[in-house]
Structure 1
């Protein structure tokens, strides 16, 4: 198990470092933001949205189970596509990596934090087709 279950009556947030409103500014004038809520009931929820020229583009909803079971990231609505489930394969302080070899793309999702910067990177398992976002902590 990557994370232990919280003690009775306590709410653990082993991924508390993800909590916040994170935004990045694209070179094309777009802005992508992820809003990660604190863990509640063993689940950490997030929304992601890209806005360009005042119009919403990409939208997705994410869920991470942290309730004592093996940790899994579920992408609930990747811009209207089918849901995907990714199992945590690596966890360190302020870093987590999820993988799903059966998924077309991405197959690896990696988050890590350095101060007020949250990095997110997606790619195939062989390292091909990498995409990276560097988010800054913001106020909603």
Structure 2
């Protein structure tokens, strides 16, 4: 009889523990689902953006790689000779959004990461104060079919800023 009572008590204890665990599981599952709202604020970048200025042609293309990452590629050609190319990655980790840039032929092709320091509607600023140039990269969307981006920072104690103006290629949709 003692054995039966002990088995019964153990069974009740195990069932009780399991029911508490089952009650906690839905909330635990919710905490595992991440929100990428901060990255989604930049979804207006997705698409193909171009600029032609005389014999110079530039293009920047952004695609959605997954929920937490946008992938980009940018290049500039002068008279059909590529003079600049870079890979871009926008990613959200926890509550931070990062812009990682590999500019070919610069920094030994090493990825340089910038952290988003501000976001306004249709604008974002990324910063890496330790990088030689640029220390800041800014993207804005003044109209739905254009992007104004620029890089800026100090070079040998003097402030420099380089502007990039793009128009959306409507024939090319990546949404």
TM-score normalized with structure 2 length: 0.68
Which has the higher Rg, Structure 1 or Structure 2?
A: 2
Work out the CA distance in 2 between the residues paired with 1:114 and 1:63.
22
Work out the CA distance in 2 between the residues paired with 1:61 and 1:69.
23
In the alignment, what sits opposite 2:150? 121
Give the Å deviation of 1:67. Answer: 4.4
Stretches (4+) displaced over 4 A = none
In the alignment, what sits opposite 2:35? 6
Of residues 127, 131, 147, the one that matches 1:99 is: 127
TM-score normalized with structure 1 length: 0.83
Structure 2 gaps, min length 5:
1-33
| 1:61-80 matches, cutoff 5 A | 61-75=87-101, 77-80=102-105
Q: Which has the higher contact order (CA 8 A, sep 6+)?
A: 1
Work out the CA distance in 1 between the residues paired with 2:83 and 2:120.
32
Structure having the larger proportion of residues in helix: 2
C-alpha RMSD over aligned residues: 2.2
Give the Å deviation of 1:68. Answer: 3.2
Q: Give CA deviations for 1:13-52 in whole Å, capped at 9, x if unaligned.
A: 221111110011234x111110011351301110001112
Q: Give CA deviations for 1:81-137 in whole Å, capped at 9, x if unaligned.
A: 222110100011111000111000000000000221101011106981100011000
In the alignment, what sits opposite 2:50? 23
Would the alpha carbon gap of residues 99 and 127 (structure 1) be closer, same or farther in structure 2, given more than 3 Å must change?
Answer: farther
Count the aligned residue pairs. 131
